[in-house]
Amino acid sequence: MPAKTDPTEADAKPVHLLVGLTVASCRQLRDIDGARAWMFVFTDLSVRTVGMFRLRFTAFDVRESTVIAPPVFSDTFEVFTPQRFPGLVESSPLAKHLRKQAVANLRITTKAD
């Protein structure tokens, strides 16, 4: 959805601009501190238009078709035109940690020297 100042606004309407896998199964992994955690990892997801956005994540039980937790919103991020793209940034420590746990298709970038 396009970025809003308050993601809980009643008028916030989803915009279907995502490409890739928009669903993920819950997996038990270890967080950076080594604690077990249940995570949803989206390894192939992109936005197809330029702008500022936030993603809304909703967890539900597919057997019951019931929402099991309130929605969670991502931080705001920007999608650039190819001409304005500043280049890849280094993957986060969490992404690198998940990749070590054999999360398939998770692309990792390293800082250019």
Complete DSSP assignment for 34-100: S-EEEEE---SEEESS-EEE--EE--EETTTTEE-S--EEPPPEEE--TTT---PPPPPHHHHHHHH
Q: Which residue, 108, 88, 87, 112, is CA-closest to 41? A: 108
Q: How far apart are CA 50 and CA 81, in angstroms?
A: 6
Tens digit of pLDDT at every position of the chain (113 positions): 555 555 555 456 666 889 999 988 889 999 999 999 999 999 889 999 999 999 999 888 878 878 788 899 999 999 999 999 998 889 999 999 999 988 877 888 887 64
- pTM for the predicted model, two decimal places: 0.70
